[in-house]
Amino acid sequence: MAERHPQIVGNWDKVGRTACDEMYPDSIRFQDNGLYFGLKDQPGTFTQWDVGTYEITGSERINISTANDAIVTYRFAISDDTLTFVDHYDCQFRYRRAG
């Protein structure tokens, strides 16, 4: 069941870069209509989260539609202005709310 999490709505910039999170966008915008848009700093670069839907299904679970249209569940957490994700390869990556 979808949960509302208005805190996630807004623009976020990735904090730090590691090899495991390379496929995720450098900036991401979550809209209040359930859509998101992700971008890499280098225009045209592939990212697993490019555009699609997101749905928060639990206190720590979010479903995100991905680049090939598969919907994948991720663990996530919001703390103040930091958004943390963990994917199914245990890759953890964070975003900070953009100013």
Partner 1 sequence: MGWVSEYLRKITVEIDRVSASESPLNNGSGVDWKSVFDSVGWDVTIDESDTNVAEPSGDSWSDAEMHQALLARRDASDLDAEWRYHVLAVRLIDSTPRGIMYDSGATDSNNVPREGVGIASHWVIPNSDPWGLVKGMRFGTAAAPYFRTAVHELGHGHGLFHNTVDNGFMNTTDVIASSGTATTPFPNNILWSFAPDDQKRLRHYPDVFVRPGGTAFGTASTTTPPITPTDVMVEIDGLELRVSPWLASIPLGAPVRVNVELVNTSGESMFAPSTLGMKSGLVRGTVVDPSGTLRTFAPLVLCVEENPVGSLDPGQSIVDSITLLRGGQGPLFPSSGVYSITVEVHWGSGGAEATVTGKTSIIVTPAVDEAHSEAALKVLSAPDALLTLVLGGDHLTDGIEAIQSAVENPVLRPHFAYIEAKRLAKPFWEREADPEAASELIDESTVMSPAEIEKAARLVEAQGADSAAGQSIAETLKEKVRTLDVGDEVRGIVDSL
CB neighbour list of residue 32: distance below 8 Å, 6 or more residues apart: 6, 9
**Residue 41 near residue 23 (C-beta atoms within 8 A):** no
Nearer to partner 1, 43 or 80 (CB): 43
Residue 44 within binding range of partner 1, rule CB under 8 A:
yes
Contact code string over 2-41 relative to partner 1, x by CB under 8 A: ---------------------x---------xxx-x----
Q: How many whole angstroms separate alpha carbon 50 and alpha carbon 37?
A: 6
Nearer to partner 1, 20 or 82 (CB): 20
Size of the site for partner 1 (CB under 8 A): 21
Q: What are phi and psi of 92, to 5 degrees?
A: -105, 135
Chain contacts with partner 1 (rule: CB under 8 A):
23, 33-35, 37, 42-44, 46, 48, 50-53, 65, 67-72
